Structure formats: C-alpha cells, structure tokens
C-alpha cells in the first residue's frame, strides 16, 4: 500500500469511495462525498494534506486535512480540520485509517501546523491523542455535543493559551 497526495484524476473515484464508506458509518449525513468537493472549493484546501491510500492501483482510503480557525475576538489561530476519513469496507481494521492519520500528521508538522480538530467518535480518535476541545477552552459555535468536538496537539502544548470558538464548514 502507498499513501500519496490525491490528484484530479482521483476525484470521481474518491467521490464514490467516500459515499460508500459512509454508508456504514455510525453517524452520517449521507453528504460526505459532496462535503469533500465543498472543502476543495472552500479556500481551506491544502493539496499536500489530501491523501489517498492505494493498493495495486485501487484506491482503498482517503483523508483530508483543511484549514480551520479558532477565533477569539480579533485573534485567529490557524489549525487543521480532519474530515472526512474513509476506508473501503473490504480493507477495514487493517490500520489503513491509522496510517492515513499518522502520515497526514507527519506532513502537517512539516508544513508547521501544530493542532488538528474534528467532529467524531471519541472511541476511534482517542488513540491518536484527541481529546475534547473544550478541555482547552475551545468551544464549537454550532451546538455539537462537546464530547464529539475533539482536538489533538501535533506539537506538545500547542494549544496552551489558545481559547475561543471554532466553526466547522458544513
Ligand atoms: C473510521 C474508519 C476510517 C477506520 O478505518 P480503519 O482502516 O478500519 O481503521 P484502523 O484499522 O486504523 O483502526 C481500526 C480500529 O478502529 C476501530 N473503529 C473503527 N471505526 C470506529 C468507530 N466509528 N468508533 C469506534 N471505533 C472504531 C475498530 O474497531 C478497530 O479497533 P481495534 O484497533 O481496537 O481493533 C473506517 O471504519 C471508515 O471508513 N468508516 C466509515 C466512515 C467513517 O465513519 N469515518 C469517520 C467519521 S468520524
């Protein structure tokens, strides 16, 4: 398996992959495949952090990290949003998702990002070092239950002294 940056040639296959993957998600809007397109067009897109996992020429996983901001008055702190992550059903529980997360974090650090946020299941994301963002004094502005809005420091103590509100693209 290789992990590489997505290219335009992958976009239609990624659309199908994300759509199918989220059909078996615990929580899904059914719109995640279109959300990927909105993220790409949002100005928050970071090509270097939109990755696919490929095996024998087939795409088996996908992850996107895009820009997001913690806002506190006039201060804007730049961080990353992890969303969405998808692995094809046939390849689940083989650490493909973990490898996509770890590789995206490695690349994110190279690009000088220090923290990552997401809305997701703590049962999956705790293992990567995510904890509720509210622990850092960072609240979501959209009324998501606090335990699902999570933050991970890529650099130890990166979120010390950062507080404010975070708004997720929908
Ligand atoms: C979530 C997902 C990307 C994980 O991919 P994966 O390659 O199977 O993950 P890994 O092999 O790295 O990790 C598997 C572990 O995560 C656990 N896991 C997977 N999804 C989980 C979830 N939603 N909640 C809790 N645990 C989960 C598995 O039980 C397994 O646990 P174990 O290591 O204790 O056996 C994949 O299941 C998927 O595409 N799901 C549908 C889309 C989705 O839900 N995306 C995340 C939205 S928050």
What string of DSSP letters covers 28-58? --S-HHHHHHHHHTSS---GGGEEEEEETTE
* pTM for the whole structure: 0.96
Q: What is the pLDDT averaged over residues 74-91?
A: 97
How many A from CA of 92 to the centre of ligand 1?
A: 7
> Could you report the per-residue pLDDT of 45-82, keeping only the tens digit for each?
999 999 999 999 999 999 999 999 999 999 999 999 99
Q: What is the pLDDT averaged over residues 38-42?
A: 96
Confidence at residue 170, expressed as pLDDT on a 0 to 100 scale: 86
If one residue of 53, 86, 92 were mutated to test the ligand 1 pocket, choosing by the most ligand atoms within 8 A of its CB, it would be 92
How many A from CA of 161 to the centre of ligand 1?
A: 32
> Could you report the per-residue pLDDT of 118-170, keeping only the tens digit for each?
999 999 999 999 999 999 999 999 999 999 999 999 999 999 999 999 999 98
State the pLDDT confidence band at 104, using cuts at 50, 70 and 90: very high
Q: What is the pLDDT averaged over residues 19-48?
A: 96
Confidence at residue 166, expressed as pLDDT on a 0 to 100 scale: 97
Cα separation, 99 vs 91, in Å, equals 12
**Any ligand 1 atom below 6 A from CB of 139:** no
How many A from CA of 138 to the centre of ligand 1?
A: 25
Pair of tokens at residue 14 = 């990624």
Confidence at residue 43, expressed as pLDDT on a 0 to 100 scale: 94
Q: Does domain 2-166 have CATH number 3.40.50.12170?
A: no
State the virtual CA torsion across 118, 14, 62, 112 in degrees, nearest 10.
-70
CB 151 within 8 A of CB 116: yes
Q: What is the pLDDT averaged over residues 99-127?
A: 97
Confidence at residue 122, expressed as pLDDT on a 0 to 100 scale: 95
If one residue of 21, 27, 87, 152 were mutated to test the ligand 1 pocket, choosing by the most ligand atoms within 8 A of its CB, it would be 87
How far are the Cα atoms of 36, 37, 82, 139 from residue 41, in angstroms, in the given order? Answer: 9, 6, 16, 26
């Amino acid at each position: 398996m290789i992990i590489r940056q997505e290219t335009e040639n992958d976009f239609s296959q990624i659309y199908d992959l994300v759509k199918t993957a989220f059909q078996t998600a615990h929580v899904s809007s059914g719109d995640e495949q279109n959300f990927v397109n909105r993220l790409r067009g949002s100005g928050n897109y970071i090509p270097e952090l939109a990755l696919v996992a490929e095996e024998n020429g087939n795409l088996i996983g996908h992850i996107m990290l895009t820009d997001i901001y913690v806002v506190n008055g006039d201060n804007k702190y730049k961080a990353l949003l992890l969303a969405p992550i998808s692995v094809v059903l046939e390849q689940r529980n083989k650490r493909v998702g973990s490898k996509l997360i770890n590789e995206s974090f490695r690349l994110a650090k190279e690009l000088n990002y220090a923290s990552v946020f997401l809305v997701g299941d703590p049962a999956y994301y705790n293992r990567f070092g995510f904890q509720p963002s509210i622990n850092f004094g960072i609240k979501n502005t959209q009324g998501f239950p606090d335990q699902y809005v999570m933050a991970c420091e890529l650099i130890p103590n990166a979120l010390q002294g950062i507080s404010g509100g975070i708004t997720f693209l929908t």
